[in-house]
Structure 1
């Protein structure tokens, strides 16, 4: 025996560390669980039955008050009808009063409206008041106010409920479907609350029944919600062993229990009993609905409970297998903990070849591998700092280029405007010179206000409007300007002097080169996904195809005139700010006009906006 143990000990000692961890965890995880499964399997069914019964008891305790409340609502509706003044006068009139005169009172109208509103509600589906009149015609059954709710006693005779009232001394009765006649179920509903009363006609007391109809669907829905497992059934039974409502009609017929048996069991068995029905063990629970003396019965066949216990065992096995797999993975992880740490460093360093610098988490243990991770993180931080400094230098270069481009735009308009003012002065038009100077002052106030180079679309639109006012002073109001930008776009941001060079180009190289030197410029805009698109169109002479191909490339800017330089700089400036997907695009039909589309990202303007927005919208 000692020789065997020695061989086992040596075999275990020669195992690799991974195999040792796996074997130990496998044994510690498997043996206790198998023992517990064998111990609890025999008791699992009893546990499931006990738990399910307790769950059904709790659910029934919650459902029963809703059923009692529904019954009370029907009773309250009945009491509301009998409390009506018309009903009181009709059924409690003096013995010798003329009966028909009560239909001509306002109380009859009020009674009709009350009952109509009650039937229009979800709970009550119909009302019939059966009255035992002699054979002669009675206006109550034909008058528009009462004919829908009053019927002769002949329509009630032959029903099961009528026989119950005739054979007993009951004054009220909740009637399930088979108590009612086919006419009642089809026209009014399959559940009724009926009470007996009397009235006087021609000096003689006569019989009457007030039948308030509803639908058993409300009760059936509650009973269905009362069930917690498949294959079970819940039903309501009255003291005449009639099923009032059921979650499943066929199953309630199979598992129907006698009312007396239920009542006896209810008093002595903690509301649950075990029975054998059709060679099947079932567990039946009861809950008393006090108002109409009903019992709510829930029957749980043993088959679904056995299936449920087996399902729990399967779930337990699956959970255990999952735990076992987790234990094996954990053993594998532990046996490779050291090599994995080294591999993680190698993997992280290999990312540097792809240009990705990301430091590792600080090591928890400061052994040789921990020192290696610290060294790698130090190297990563230094390289990241160098890249940051390089990006900052590139950003400063971009800002310098932006300012240079804008500087090329601002003096250009001033030159053209001063030339126009000079021309007006030479003509001796001092008033117009004054207005031109005022407009120019307002123009540059908008241009130079604040230190920011980002404005709003509203201010840019005002800016070009003033520009065209100045130009119209020079060219005798020959330019019509239409601005149709939606109000919701006005507060979005746009670089200053974006619209003016394009408008100026449309004036000088489009409209003023037509034969009559007149034309129209239209400025519109819209939101397109996350971008704003502004469209400037004119009806000038247009742009030739060869010039159109170079207007935004900068190749022909120097030979095409100053405004072409400004247009090129505007396009270049937008691309520097927002990226190559933004800027200007030209389309032109020579002899008919030109359209310029300006595309910029949609960004709300802020009073605290930085001088330069982030490159390419990032």
Structure 2
């Protein structure tokens, strides 16, 4: 422990003055804030829950009356239609014929116009009156009534029709799944339906009046009722059916039983904590009196925890912003004290970079002033040393370039020698046409090579050189060498030293393919980008390289089986390493399928001069 405190004191003593001032300020500002954050973090979740529930209570208390009002609008529209004179005549006055009502067309016209006005105003989205008449009855065919009257057969098969048939209810507010597809498609996906009786030819018959509306009105209200992501609000009826929901999937997960909701509503007017599917939630209930519905709002604990964490993150970010401001202020104040010392340190640190420059003569001749005078005296000697180092670096660079050009010069005669030997052989055979073609190809090859003074070419140009070389060789060996170039177009304009591919392909021809019994084979040239490097792969199906020679092929010491040397391969490898460093160059390996592979590693540098 003593050793630890001793080391801390030593490190503090070695700190710069500016760092000491900054450290003290950070400790002074940070420790109290961290203690306060730890103290309040445990209470933060409860505060967020209380605040969020209070918000939801306020919003839900305003939303529930609006839902009731929407329901009441549909009921009122239904009641106003049933108050029409035509409706009263039809259902409440015994008639012997359904056609007698059409004697007073004014009542029918008024019924149609009033119903249209309710639909166009948005009070309802549609109206259907289902009656147990034959379909030939004029109600279903007359232009004034056919849009609003349908035979009872259209209602049979719906869920709401089954409820009316199986119970004694006289009115029903139907959610979407109570209705048939025809109703939802043509009129609306919610409906207020009442049952009534009419008399025809001395007999009583059942009829249903359905005023339709859209559930979107309720859904939009429920969505606006939410303030927390991940929460859900839905309306449930006394048959445990969801009437409308802000999110159908979420409401299915957090569905509560109607009876338990009613019990909870009677016992508390606040949000209550429940556990649903091992998830803690906070649920609030609001009674929609007219249809006997409940509006349920469910707040899962997860989003509330996330919200509390976000508040803590915001607090931390605000604190960090103030901390940065305090650090800047502390740094400025400390620099005003240590500015003269820092200027000397800054100037002296340039010695490491070799760019030391003299300082202005000090105004004050205290200890710092004497230090500046001493520094200026040393500056002269440092500049002399810098000059000597620059001259040495320049000489080393010139030596490196001289070695590169020397190695490159060894390759050009090597290729020319082998090519002229081939042309001589053709001439001895008396194949003058092929000699002419070979000389033209050789001339074109050297024209491309010598027309550019730079030592750097492009991959496209090097590929062309290799192609011309193989054309010349195929003249000699009866087109026994197949060359496949498969380099992506996007690599063609990258830089590569001249005469990099040709010597390696020549080596593959002479010491690989031509040493086979049939003296025929294939050379494949491919390439790809690998991080910030380019890899070119030359593979052949020749005789391969023995393991003992494989290890020495890049050293310049080995020799081929035909008596030749590896000077071209060695020179190419050396040139690449002199230009780009030891991480680049050639890598030889035996192809598992027979033959040899050589990888050329060069940096990915785009050509900007060609």
TM-score with structure 1 setting the length: 0.52
* 1:157 corresponding residue in structure 2: 164
Q: Secondary structure at the residue paired with 1:452?
A: coil
Q: What is the match of residue 597 of structure 2?
A: 596
Per the TM alignment, residue 449 of structure 1 is displaced from its structure 2 partner at its CA by 3.5
Distance 1:579 1:55, change over 3 A: farther
Residue of 534, 549, 552 corresponding to 1:550: 552
Aligned match of 1:131 = 130
Distance 1:323 1:469, change over 3 A: closer
Measured in 1, the distance between the counterparts of 2:199 and 2:367 equals 109
What is the DSSP-based 3-state SS (H/G/I as helix, E as strand, rest coil) of the residue aligned with 2:170?
helix
Matched residue, 1:463: 465
Cα distance, 1:175–1:404 mapped onto 2, change above 3 Å: same
Q: Aligned equivalents of 1:324 and 1:483: distance in 2?
A: 62
Give the match's secondary structure for 1:509.
helix
> Cα 1:376–1:245, aligned 2, differ >3 Å: closer, same or farther?
farther
Q: Does the 8 Å CA contact 1:587/1:594 hold for their aligned counterparts?
A: no
Residue 131 of structure 1 deviates from its aligned partner by 2.5
Shift in CA distance, 474/379, structure 1 to aligned 2, threshold 3 Å: same
Matches within 5 A, 1:84-103: none
TM-score normalised by length of structure 2: 0.52
| Partner in structure 2 of residue 490 of structure 1 | 492
In the alignment, is the contact (CA less than 8 A) between 2:133 and 2:152 conserved in 1? no
Distance 1:593 1:319 in 2: 64
User: What are the equivalent positions in structure 2 for 1:382-461 lying under 5 Å apart?
Assistant: 382=383, 390-461=392-463
Pairwise CA distance, 1:572:
0.6
Task: Tell me, in whole angstroms, the C-alpha distance in 1 between the residues paired with 2:454 and 2:134.
Answer: 100
| 1:158-237 correspondence to structure 2 within 5 Å | 163-164=170-171, 192-194=190-192, 207-209=208-210, 211=212, 214=215, 218-219=219-220, 222-223=223-224, 225-226=226-227
- Deviation track 1:486-544 (CA, whole Å, cap 9, x = no partner) reads 44443433222111111212222333344444443333334444433323233434334
Q: How does 1:260-275 map to 2 (within 5 A)?
A: none
Q: Which runs of 5+ in 2 are unaligned?
A: 1-19, 33-46, 75-96, 100-125, 141-150, 247-253, 273-289, 298-307
Tell me, which stretches of 5 or more residues in structure 1 are unaligned? 1-17, 31-44, 75-93, 97-126, 141-145, 166-173, 258-275, 281-291, 300-309, 610-618
Secondary structure, in 3 states, of the residue corresponding to 1:225?
A: coil
Are the aligned partners of 1:512 and 1:540 in contact in 2 as well (CA < 8 Å)? yes
Q: Tell me the distance in 2 between the aligned counterparts of 1:516 and 1:197.
A: 101
Q: Is the partner of 2:502 in helix, strand or coil?
A: helix
The offset of 1:175, in angstroms, is 5.8
For 2:421 and 2:496, how far apart are their aligned partners in 1? 28
- 1:470, CA displacement in angstroms? 1.1
Which residue number corresponds to residue 588 of structure 2? 586
How many angstroms apart in 2 are the aligned matches of 1:386 and 1:254? 96
Distance 2:338 2:505 in 1: 66
3-state SS of paired residue (2:577): helix
- Helix, strand or coil at the partner of 2:535: strand
* Equivalent residues of 1:227, 1:234 under 8 A apart: no
SS at match of 1:573: helix
Q: CA contact under 8 A between 2:539 and 2:597: conserved in structure 1? A: yes
Contact map agreement 2:56 2:227 (CA 8 A) in 1: no
User: Take 2:356 and 2:542, find their aligned partners in 1: how far apart are those partners?
Assistant: 61
CA change 1:464–1:192 in 2 (3 A) is same
Rounded to whole Å, the distance in 1 between the matches of 2:389 and 2:131 is: 103
> Counterpart of 2:524?
522
